[in-house]
Every structure is written in C-alpha cells, then in structure tokens.
Structure 1
Amino acid sequence: MATTPISDMDDRTRDVFRIVVESYIDSGAPVGSRTISKTSDLNLSPASIRNVMQDLEEIGLLAAPHTSAGRMPTEQGLRLFVDGMMQVAELSQEERAAIETQLNGNGPIEDALAAATTALSGLSACAGVVMVPNREPKLKQCSFVRLSDRQILAVLVGEDGSVENRLIETDAPLPISALEEAGNFITGRFAGRNLSEAFSAMGEEIARERAAIDSASADLVARGIATWSKDSAARPVLIVRGQANLLDNEAVADLERVRQLLGELEEMQEIASLLDSAREARSTRIFIGAENNLFSLSGSSVIAAPYRDGQGRVVGVIGVIGPTRLNYGRVVPMVDFTARSLTRLLG
C-alpha cells in the first residue's frame, strides 16, 4: 500500500496524525477522537477528528485494535512520523554526563562498552546492545603442541600479551619436528602482522618457502592460520544490557510479545547481523517492527549507530531494542551521542 507523504496532507490531517502518534508513544494506548478534542487546541469536534482518523486508517497509517477503541499508528505510520515529523530532542547535561562518565577510565574497551551500554539502557528504558569490535592483536609468537596422534593445539601469543588457543584435527600423526617447524615458520614470517594480514599473505609465503618447509609443516601452517581467521570472523561479540526494561507496565498486558522478544534476544548471531547492517549508516538507523525479520513477530524496534576507531573505520555498532512505541525523538540522540562518544574514546 502506497503511503501518503507528509507534504500531501492538509494541516488538519497532519495535526491529527501527529497527536495520535505522540499520544500513543507517550501512553502506549490507542487515542480516541473525544480525547483529542478535549486535550488539544485543534478546535475540531470529535466527529471531525473521527473522520480524519478514519481517512488515515484507510491509507494504512492508523489502526483500531478494537471496534470501540481509539486509533494507534501502524508500523507504516510510525515510519512516516519518524522520517517526516519527528522532533529530535536535545540531551540534557545530566544525560550526557551519565554516558560520558562510563567512558572514562583506562580499563579494557569491553568494560567501557558494557558500562556505556548499561547507561544507555537505563536512560532510554530499553535493552541496550553493542557489537564489540573484533580485535586482532599483532602476532608475537606461535607454537603447536601435540595432544594426541590426531589432535594439535595451536597457541597464538599476541604483542599485547593475549593468548588464544585453537584445536586442530589432523588426518595422520605429525612428528614433533613438523610442529616446531610450523611454529617457527609462522613466528618468523608473520610476527608483527594481524591474522587477516597473515591469512592474505599465507599462500604466497608458503609457495615461496616450499623448499624450506616440508609438506606436513606447510599444511599445519595453512590450517592453523585459517582456523584462527575463520573463527574470529564467525564470532561476533555482543553485550546486551537492560532486558528487564522490556517488562514495563504496558508489556505485562502482552506477555506473549515479551516472551517472543526475550527469545529473539537470545539469537546473538541474528542480532549481530542486524546491527551489522547499520555499519554503513552515516549516523543513526531506525528499524521499526517488521522492517527487520528478527523482531517482526514481537513488534519491536531497533535504533543503532556505528562507532569508529582513530582511523575513521567503523569497528562496531551500539543501539537499543524496545517496543515500537518507544520515544524515537528522545532515544535517537542518546544512541547518536553514545556512538560519537565511543568514537572519541577510540580516537
């Protein structure tokens, strides 16, 4: 169904639509024509307002949950409001301080991200979620340890002191000399590079040094680096905070939707994919209800923004998840400010 642009609405229709959406966002309940007539300065009778609401319902912007109930915006109506009518609020000094305070300190970046997400969740009354940047430490040393005839433990030591292990299955037993040779080869050729750089250069390096390394060691080198690279790419690290905020007074009346949403929050890989789609956004992206498949059943919205490192590269995404009736005008600047604060932290 084609949506009528805001610019094509007359003033009366636009005002009624705005009041219905803002009232719904504020209360979570449908709003009736008599309520609008009494509480607004439109100077319209309930009958006139009811006619306008009926017209808005016919073009898919409003809906009536029950015959005798008032109207509430559809997801299509919310999208139109967000894109064409929403007034973005300014963050208060207290709200800015609450976020920035969490980003002060010299601890691990994961701790700062978790704290910022908690603060954002508390301020927005939503669930906060952040995608932690994939960190690829530069290689300092690599070694291989035989656990059994067909199991090898690859040990990677980074320049930052981090240690990661990977288990590799082999088709046949490998001699200790092959393990030592493979570890020395990776350390000697790839020290000072991150895993993606090592993986890119691996084939050329092995081909060039084929005479200096036997086939068993060469296979172990290739499989070891490939295991690290693929595993790192397949493991999005997510921090979710404030799920309890989803259990507000209105949500209690719709427990099935809440159960659905809490179940969806367990799908970390799917959430990572959704957040990843916001990486290319210049600022904040808003996903309303069925606009994303993950939250289409629960009728939830996501507001997300990318944050960058010192080189200007997008390294993660932070945002909130809440009901479609969340206060977009208030929450969007919160998410945007948090993302910009993280960018300054990593700069």
Structure 2
Amino acid sequence: MTTLDKRAQILLKTLVEHYISDGQPVGSRTLSKCSGLDLSPATVRNVMSDLEEMGFIASPHTSAGRVPTHRGYRFFVDTLLTIKPLQTQEIQRLESELSSPDPQELISSAAGLLSSLTQFAGVVMIPRRKSIAFKHLEFLPLSDTRLLVIIVTSDGNVQNRIIVTDKAYSAAELTQASNFFNANYSGSTFEDVQKKLHEELKQMQSDMNRLMAAALDASSKALDEDRDNVVISGERNLLQVDELSTNVTSLRKLFEIFERRTSLMQLLDNSQRAEGIQIFIGGESGYLPLDECSMVTAPYEANGQIVGTLGVIGPTRMAYERVIPIVDITAKLLSSGLSMK
C-alpha cells in the first residue's frame, strides 16, 4: 500500500472532506486556508501535484481545482476517515422504528430508515428461507410435454409451476412419479431431497429421473420467486445527486439492477460472508454499473446466525463518516429485533 507523509495525508483528507461537502473541485488556496498547516499555496500546489501523480486526486478539465479519484476515496476511507457518532435523536428514532414484532415489517422499516437518514437508496437482503419441507407434490398433464407441478410445503404454502419435458408421460407414469416422490420424501427439506434423489433414482428409468429432477428444480425456483429477496427504499433519491443524474445511460443501468435485483443479490450475498462494515467504491464491487456509485454494507443476525445484509447505495461523494455509523447501528438494531422473534 502506498504511504503518504503526514502533510500529504492532511491535505488529502481536507480535500476529500471539502469535495464531499460542496461537490466543487478544491483549489490550493482553499487547502492552504483550511488544512491547519502553515504552508504557502505554492507548497500546497507541489504536494497536490505529487498526490495527482500517485493517482489520489485528479484535475477536471474545466477547473483549476482537484477532485478525489477512487484511489483517493479508498485511502481516505481506509486510513483518514473520522467516524461521526449519530445524534441521540437519530439513535432513538432507529430504536423506536425497529421495534416491530413482525420480522417483515422490521426489514422494510430498516430499508426505509437507511434511505431516510442518508437520502440515498437503502437496501436489505431478506433472509433466505432455509430448510423448507414439502408435504405433497402432484403432476398434472397440460399437453404432451407440458406439465403442471403442484407443490404444497409444510408451512401451508402452495405453488404451481409449469415444466416442459422432452417426452410425453402417460397419466400412469405421472401418478407413479407423484406417489414415489410423496412416499419417499414427504416431510423432507428440498436440500435433503436433492442429496437423496441422486442415489435413489438410479433404480428408476432414466426418463423418470429427468422428470424428478425437473420437478425438484421447479419447486426450488417457485419458493425463491415467491418473495422478493431484496427490499429497496429510496432509489429515486439518487436522481437528485448531480453527478449521477447527468449520466443518464449509466443511471438507467443502475435502475435496471434495482429492478432485476440479481446482481444486487450477488453483491449482498458476498458481503454477508465478510465481517463488519464493507465499503465498495466505484467499480470495486464488480456489480454496480456506475463509477460514481459507492455501497456501504453490513451483515445482520438472528439469534447469533448471520442471515442477511443491509446497506446504502449512493454517490462516491457521500459522507462516509455519517453513512457508516447509520449502516452499522441499523444492522445491530435489526439483529436485536429479529433475535427476539
């Protein structure tokens, strides 16, 4: 990692904080006045030139001032950032609004609070439903190669899925498949069925194997699609951010991610495996399409087990010292609320 002397660090910190505050390129005269260092503008310009050469800052064509690069933001966040504690009334608001006995309401409230307190987009990955057992499965023919699969889970959830097969099955074969599935696997979780199915179906005809595999795949997808996996609140706040709203093409791509949510789920899922606050600046995540976007995430728990991730998506020019504690405390309070359920 590149090291900077104390003088360069103070000037970089001052520049990033000023740019985050007002969004305007920062000149050497401003830094000379605001850094607290007894340096002439000429000396400041020399240090700025070195920082630019090292890739921490850049000069916009239309201004004599400098702005932070992604590398500059990363060094600032990792090394120079001073976290600002939340005000008492903000903490009290979080505590009061994250006190519902309903887990789904808690998660929705968390997303809304993240958005409201930061004025950016708040996102919460809903805990995945694990160990769902199915009670009953039935095949009904729709046409020669199209079948309706009816899945009833142990919690009373009923799903209908259409699957397309590569051959026609007789009514007797469909009854046989349903009976086999229900007799052998009723009460088992889909994870357990997947483990057992591979070995036990070797004794059946190969085309019946394919029918079983298709039914299991359809069942898993039905349960996954039965609910939104991510709650998003306040994405339209990003339309008010100048550096995002002027990039119409990239902004459209970002909203497509909000709509499809697949890439967002992958990013949150990866964040869930890490401990504590994670900060993705610009393209570091590999998922967000805007170089001008950053994401701050934290995992949350239920009864000691990490079950999801929440976070804030906003511009790289965000007040990290404020957003980080908001994300951190929201994750802790959500964990506490879910652990009492």
Same fold at TM > 0.5: yes
Of residues 173, 186, 189, the one that matches 1:191 is 186
Seen in structure 2, the aligned counterparts of structure 1 residues 141 and 342 have a Cα distance that, compared at 3 Å, is farther
Alignment of 1:277-316 (within 5 A): 277-295=270-288, 297-310=290-303, 312=305, 314-316=306-308
> How does the TM-score come out when normalised to structure 2?
0.86
Q: CA deviation at 1:331?
A: 0.8
- 1:171–1:18 Cα change, 3 Å: closer
Contact 1:278 1:306 survives alignment (8 Å): yes
How far is the alpha carbon of 1:197 from its aligned partner?
1.8
Q: Note if contact 1:129-1:318 (Cα within 8 Å) is conserved in structure 2.
A: yes
Q: Structure 1's 162 and 99: CA in aligned 2 closer, same or farther, altered over 3 A?
A: farther
Within 5 A, what are the aligned runs for 1:1-347?
Answer: 4-5=2-3, 8-9=4-5, 11-66=6-61, 68-107=63-102, 109-136=103-130, 137-207=132-202, 210=203, 219-229=210-220, 237-248=229-240, 250-251=242-243, 255-257=245-247, 259-267=249-257, 268-295=261-288, 297-310=290-303, 312=305, 314-347=306-339
What is the DSSP-based 3-state SS (H/G/I as helix, E as strand, rest coil) of the residue aligned with 1:316?
strand
The superposition leaves residues 169-190 of structure 1 with CA deviations (integer Å, 9 ceiling, x where unpaired) of 2334333333333333323322
Runs of 5+ in structure 1 lacking a partner? none
Report the TM-score when normalising by structure 1: 0.85
SS at match of 2:65: coil
- Deviations, residues 57-93 of structure 1 (Å, cap 9, x unaligned): 1211111113643112111011001111111222333
Change (3 A) 1:218 1:15: closer
Shift of 1:40: 4.5
**Match for 2:126: what amino acid?**
V
Offset, 1:296: 5.3
Find the residue that maps to 1:66 and give its secondary structure: coil
Displacement of 1:135 in angstroms is 1.5
CA-CA distance at 1:56 after TM superposition: 1.3
Aligned pairs, number: 334
Query: Could you tell me how far apart the structure 2 residues matched to 1:246 and 1:287 are?
Result: 17
Q: Distance in 2 between matches of 1:273 and 1:236?
A: 14
Identity of aligned residues (%): 38
Q: What SS is found at the alignment partner of 2:51?
A: helix
Partner Cα distance (2:39, 2:337) in 1: 52
Output the amino acid matched with 1:116.
A
Output one character per residue of 1:136-190: Cα deviation in whole Å (capped at 9) or x when no partner: 4221222222222322111111222222222122334333333333333323322
Report if aligned partners of 1:144, 1:180 keep a CA contact under 8 Å in 2. Answer: yes
Amino acid in the other structure paired with 1:21: V
Check 1:93–1:202 CA distance in 2 against 1; reply closer, same or farther (3 A cut): farther
Whole-angstrom CA distance in 2 between matches of 1:218 and 1:290 = 43
Please identify, of 295-304 and 314-323, the stretch whose mean Cα deviation from structure 2 is larger: 295-304
In 1, are the aligned partners of 2:292 and 2:316 still within 8 Å (CA)? yes
Q: What is the deviation of 1:237?
A: 2.2
Q: Judge which range, 40-49 or 299-308, deviates more.
A: 40-49
Give a deviation string over 1:111-133, Cα, whole Å, max 9, x none.
Answer: 43222111101111111122223
| In structure 2, distance between residues paired with 1:188 and 1:309 | 34
Q: Secondary structure at the match of 2:64?
A: coil
- Letter matched to residue 60 of structure 1: G
Aligned equivalents of 1:335, 1:242: Cα separation in 2: 15
Q: Secondary structure at the match of 1:277?
A: helix
Aligned AA (1:299): E
1:344 partner amino acid: S
